[in-house]
Chains A and B, each alone.
Chain A
């Protein structure tokens, strides 16, 4: 069975600084997708970034980028130029490409951006 581990329950960063959130996963699959989701206090999960395992190039979306290390089964999220609106829970998620395409989420990292 696949598992996702986020070992940082809470993190804080000064506004405009850079922060990296860690995620490791375990799977025997060779092809899969990885995601980072943001969950603000409104509870609505918002997709931040997506990475396909067969693509070696790390995904980027504006201030958000990932460091995908397939051999190490590591998928960290880097947030550059942190903004107050980035304050939220961040969840790492795994999805395999066989079956029903359901997410397997980690336990989350609570990020607080300080003014």
Chain B
């Protein structure tokens, strides 16, 4: 079956612009996670959705970052007034439920470059 997909694969934007990154989880997966992976680092947690609601957004770095999952499936990560420090790979993962006994499946990520 289809895995987690993310679009676009790559995004180049100018400093100060607004961007949206999309994640399509595996069908039926209720839990969805966003992570950010900076160069040479491991992924860092941003936000977790259980269904439509953000159960934990403690990883969002500041109020320029926002994410939604209005119908409990597709999620969009939104970044306002982008800064060069936002450049990273943004990874999305989904699992059947939010519990460690259920594997988190990752997408291929969106590489965001802010010039």
A-side residues, CB < 8 A to B, are: 4, 33, 42-47, 50, 52, 91, 93, 95, 97, 99-108
Contact = CB atoms under 8 A, between A and B. Distances in A.
A47 B33 contact: no
Given A43-B109, A102-B56, A103-B35, A91 B45 contact: no
B56 A44 contact: no
Contacts of A47: 103-104
B85 interface: no
A57 B108 CA distance: 32
B72 interface: no
B40 A107 contact: yes
A107 B41 contact: yes
B44 interface: yes
B98 interface: yes
B109 A95 contact: no
The contact size tier of chain B is 20 to 34
B62 to A, nearest CB: 19
Contacts of B33: 102-103
A107 B39 CA distance: 10
Given A100-B48, A105-B42, A106-B42, A45 B93 contact: yes
Interface in B20-43: 31, 33, 35, 40-43
Contacts of B31: 101
Contacts of A4: 42
A63 to B, nearest CB: 19
Given A43-B109, A107-B40, 14 more contacts: A33-B100, A44-B106, A44-B107, A45-B43, A45-B106, A52-B100, A95-B100, A97-B100, A100-B56, A101-B98, A101-B100, A102-B33, A105-B44, A108-B41
A46 B3 CA distance: 12
Scoring B42, B44, B89, B103 by chain A CB atoms within 10 A of each residue's CB, the highest score goes to B42
